[in-house]
Amino acid sequence: MDYEGDYTTYTIGLGRRFTDQFAASASIIYEPGIASDYDPVTGQGGVSNLSPVDGQLGLQVTGTYYVSDALEVTGAVRYTRLGDSSTEQVGAVFEGNDALTVGMRIGYRF
């Protein structure tokens, strides 16, 4: 993969501890697109075939439950709208895509 420039992803969020056992946060994630569509005439432009998105906008919600002083359980859900793009070389078009990501972590301190 070859990127001509740097990419910057912005994240801003807010977290709150509701009780001694539960805390939550919400974040907005934004990555501007580079507007690099593939031009079949010149063969220039387009995004990588391995990363066929041009920017993103997402919302993430995370919650942590402290079971004890040593044990905590964290869960997160993230919805992301992926930017429309076309890939280099073959010019495949990706439009209207989104992603839903779910994660869980169990932490134990000793």
* Residue 53, SS3 per DSSP: coil
Nearest one of 48, 53, 55, 62 to 102, comparing CA atoms: 62
Reported as a single tens digit per residue, the pLDDT across 71-83 is 999 999 999 998 8
Nearest C-alpha neighbor of 13 from the set 73, 104, 76, 84: 76
The reported pLDDT for the residue numbered 55 is: 85
Q: What is each CA distance from 3 to 38, 45, 46, 88, 109, in whole angstroms? A: 14, 11, 11, 12, 40
* 1-51 tens-digit pLDDT: 455 667 789 999 999 999 999 999 999 999 988 766 656 566 566 666 666
- Rounded to 5°, the CA angle 79-81-83 comes to 155
Distance CA 32, CA 15 (A): 24
Q: Tell me: the pLDDT tens digits for 90-110? A: 767 888 889 999 999 999 999
What residue ranges do the domains of the chain occupy?
10-108
Distance from the first to the final alpha carbon of the chain: 42
